[in-house]
Amino acid sequence: MKTSENTMLVTGGGSGIGRELARRFNALGNTVIVVGRRLETLEATIAGRRNMHAMVLDVEDPEAITALADRVVAEYPSLNVLINNAGIMRREDLTRTRDLHDSEQTVVTNLLGPIRLTNALTDHLVNQPDAAIVNVSSGLAFVPLSSTPTYNATKAALHSYTVSLREQLKGKIEVIELAPPAVHTELNPASRPAHAMPLDEFIDEVMALFRGQPTPREILVEQVNFLRWAERDGHFDQALEMLNAH
């Protein structure tokens, strides 16, 4: 993937990983549009920076996704990179019958959100030079944290979907998966382990990997490899136990 002179759309760009990715890519000479539900946090992301723009989008709303995609393509016809980063993480107690609102919202945001936004932009992106889609999954796609079951499941599904997307779009759009380990952000601080990476350190490593030519199809910082390759390397049970030991 090219790392400069792109026009990029970043979901969840008002905080955490999305905000830092948006700012770092902008600093490398990219035009970046950040989207999310809260305009004030998006405006804080872009404040004082050139070639950064903010638009409100709730990725739970399919009509809003279509409208946003149409608007972005009309206002920024050079759009060539989509980063599906927005996500939520909720704790869920599976030991009793419960209200499934959190489960359903997690599936709609973390899985249907990227599927719908990618779909809305595919006809545009396939005709763009140097087009790329980056889907942000998680190390928990590969070894689950049992207290956040639907979250893990959506990330495992997003991993699988991304593999199919890459195969179908081969030669047309570069498809990259970014699977972070635990990182210090606003995402469910109650589930964050003590060894979570500082955000700056994580983004430094991620940007170095993005600069690799060709860009790896999976952006994996060193700390996530233990989870990413647990099954292949024969330490899945050990990883599951370590992750879930409280």
Ligand X SMILES: NC(=O)c1ccc[n+]([C@@H]2O[C@H](COP(=O)([O-])OP(=O)(O)OC[C@H]3O[C@@H](n4cnc5c(N)ncnc54)[C@H](OP(=O)(O)O)[C@@H]3O)[C@@H](O)[C@H]2O)c1
Catalytic residues: 151
String of DSSP letters for 205-232: HHHHHHTSSSPPSEE--GGGHHHHTTTT
Residues that bind ligand X (CB under 6 A): 11-12, 14-18, 36-38, 41, 57-60, 85-89, 109, 136, 138, 180, 182-183, 185-187
Q: Of the candidates 15, 6, 9, 22, which has an alpha carbon nearest to the alpha carbon of residue 206?
A: 22
Q: Of the candidates 134, 109, 108, which has an alpha carbon nearest to the alpha carbon of residue 121?
A: 134
